[in-house]
Amino acid sequence: MKFSKIVETSIYSSNLEKMKEFYVGKLGLDFVSEQKGRHVFLKTDKNMLLIFNHETTITEKETNHGAPTPPSMVHIAFEIGSGEYEKAKKLLVDSNIQVEKEIEWENSIKSRSVYFRDPAGNLVEFITKNYWGVKD
């Protein structure tokens, strides 16, 4: 399989307002959405910068990807082709990589994500393209 890009990179802070002011107000990244106290989602032309507050997400019983991610771990997502979801999942199964969760997003293009862990415990995702509306 070819991965065109890392489409999501996550970083973490307990002060999201300060991070938003820095990345949007100073550096000039585009604001996409936020949930106060939990996350701020920003973008460049071609990929997303997701900023999460570990202090909030660690207390969540159920997150998108299943169990909360320990604060020391990070999250990245690789973009896959729209028709490559089953192939990508097969790659995981064939490699004995445990699937943590699958999601069918409620959008018009029926985006799909599958989550798993790397050996360091980082949360890795394959997500079908065009979910975020960033450029190719």
Contacting positions for a copy of itself (CB under 8 A): 1-6, 9, 11-15, 18-19, 22-23, 26-29, 44-47, 49, 72, 74, 76, 78, 91, 95, 97, 118-120, 122
By beta-carbon proximity to a copy of itself, the closer residue of 111 and 125 is: 125
Nearer to a copy of itself, 87 or 110 (CB): 87
C-beta neighbour count of 123 within 10 angstroms: 24
CB of 102 to a copy of itself, least distance (A): 17
Q: Which two tokens stand for residue 80?
A: 């896959």
Nearer to a copy of itself, 32 or 74 (CB): 74
Complete DSSP assignment for 51-90:
EE-HHHHTT-SSBTTBSPPPTT--EEEEEE-TT-HHHHHH
